[in-house]
Amino acid sequence: MKKIKKLQINRFIIILLIVCFTSLFIFSNKSNKDEYDYKYLQDKYKIVTFTLPDTIYFAGQLVDLTNPYIRERVETELYSITYFHSLLIKTIKQTDRYLPYIEKELKNNKLPIDLKYIAVIESNLVPTTSPAGAKGIWQFMKGTAIKYGLEVSDDVDERLHFEKSTIAALSYLKDLYNMFGDWFLAIAAYNSGENYIKIKINEQYTNNFWDLVINSETARYISRAIATKIIYQSLKNFGFYIPTYEIYPKYKYEEIVIDSTINNLPLFCHQMNVSYYNFKKINPWLISDKLVNKGNKKYTIRIPVLEGYKISTSSNNDSVELIERI
């Protein structure tokens, strides 16, 4: 009996020693791993500040970034955009679908090419709806959209039609510039409304945008556009190494003209043998599941084509070309 009891005690001691040594080994390894992770972070991961130029031109107007008040406003937006990595990468990858057309229309209308960045800061190149009800890449409010010739009805909202809303937005911006004679004031008015900017100019005895005390969203608006230009003109300097083959390709489609009512768009797509999701994706201006057309208006509808529509998942050669500037 005593031998059995002694044996049990010995087993208990052995088990206890094993547990102690195992725990020491685990904690020692964890400590080493934590130390390694910390050292890795110190060596590899850095949150950095960026060097800004002393001056930059936006829409042909000089921005003096040696002025501490202006520099702080632009830097605030620059860090906000740069360190929101996921959103910036997604927006950059969308650019081929939208910016070439915007640039073409800006040139056709003899407008500053920098106005393309207004679309970027308005919507991150996603035809979305704001809490205030503004819609599309250019974020038109309903009243302004109708004023500039866009249809807004139960079934159709051309604020979400990229090409038509682009033409309307550029017309609006041109009118605002003719009204104020200054691109910063015109762009601010695009955001807040022309009457608001007129009132603030009269109340504060200045037509210098940088001297106006206005609502925070509009006050940030110009700085955000300038910061976007700075980042997009030198992506690698801000740590964004994005291969050109990762850019989302332009949508591939065929166009048909419709001048009658379509009572059921899902059925229409089924009969056309196309995905209803893809159809709505490239026709976001068709906002319901039907198209009532009592006046026999002609609508150009895009039918998605999948054949040959692929996105590359790797480079075809050893030399990876990066997106340098947009």
Residues 65, 71: contact at Cβ < 8 Å?
Answer: yes
Whole-number pLDDT of residue 41:
56
pLDDT of residue 118: 98
Query: How would you classify the pairing of strands 61-64 and 55-58?
Result: antiparallel
Q: What is the mean pLDDT of each run of 10 residues along the chain (326 residues)?
A: 54 63 55 54 73 96 98 97 94 96 98 98 95 96 98 98 98 98 98 97 98 97 98 92 91 96 98 97 98 96 87 64 85
Alpha-carbon span 195 to 300, nearest angstrom? 35
Q: What angle do CA 110, 115, 116 make, to 5 degrees?
A: 105
With contact defined as beta carbons under 8 Å apart, do 138 and 122 qualify? yes
DSSP, res 319: S
Q: What is the pLDDT of residue 307?
A: 75
Predicted confidence at residue 229, as pLDDT, reads 98
8 A C-beta contact, residue 117 and residue 74: no
**Radius of gyration for the chain, computed over Cα atoms and rounded to the nearest angstrom:** 29
The predicted pLDDT at position 141 comes to 97
Return the pLDDT at 235: 93
Judge whether 59 and 180 are in contact, CB under 8 Å: no
